Amino acid sequence: NAGVTQTPKFRVLKTGQSMTLLCAQDMNHEYMYWYRQDPGMGLRLIHYSVGEGTTAKGEVPDGYNVSRLKKQNFLLGLESAAPSQTSVYFCASSQGQGSGYTFGSGTRLTVV
């Protein structure tokens, strides 16, 4: 039972570089989410998806893009990384909005 798998686990980027974070879930969940977690700020929603082919903005979407081409995958892209995007990124999935989440193990991103 893999649950939610995130890759990579760690990454260091230079300012201006781009990268894609991959999230894969094997639970056939409809809903998928990308969060960032910063000290003292808690988890903040970046983007989410309520089904294959759909995406929507969360609380802090600027500087990020997402795609959900397949139900099991949710990609988070950083087009031009900035130091303010240094954070821990968590992907999560759920069967419904009122259901509990299953989180991936996180990606620690540092932008220098």
Partner 1 sequence: RKEVEQDPGPFNVPEGATVAFNCTYSNSASQSFFWYRQDCRKEPKLLMSVYSSGNEDGRFTAQLNRASQYISLLIRDSKLSDSATYLCVAVSGYSSASKIIFGSGTRLSIRP
Binding residues for partner 1 (CB under 8 A): 33, 35, 40-45, 50, 56, 90, 96-98, 100-106
CB of residue 50 vs partner 1: minimum separation in angstroms? 4
In the complex, minimum distance from the CB of residue 10 to partner 1, in angstroms, rounded to a whole number? 11
Question: What are φ and ψ of residue 53, in 5° steps?
Answer: 85, 0
Beta carbon nearer to partner 1, 38 or 79: 38
Could you tell me the two tokens for 9?
Answer: 């686990």
- Closer CB to partner 1, 74 or 90, in the complex: 90
Interacting residues of 91 by C-beta distance below 8 A, sequence separation 6+: 4, 6, 21, 23, 25, 32, 33, 34, 35, 74, 76, 103, 104
**Which CB, 22 or 45, lies closer to partner 1?**
45
Query: Minimum distance between the CB of residue 48 and partner 1, rounded to whole angstroms?
Result: 9
Contact 70, 55 (CB under 8 A): no
CB of 58 to partner 1, least distance (A): 9
Which among 70, 77, 60, 71 has a CA at the least distance from the CA of 95? 71
Q: Which one, 80 or 99, has the nearer CB to partner 1?
A: 99
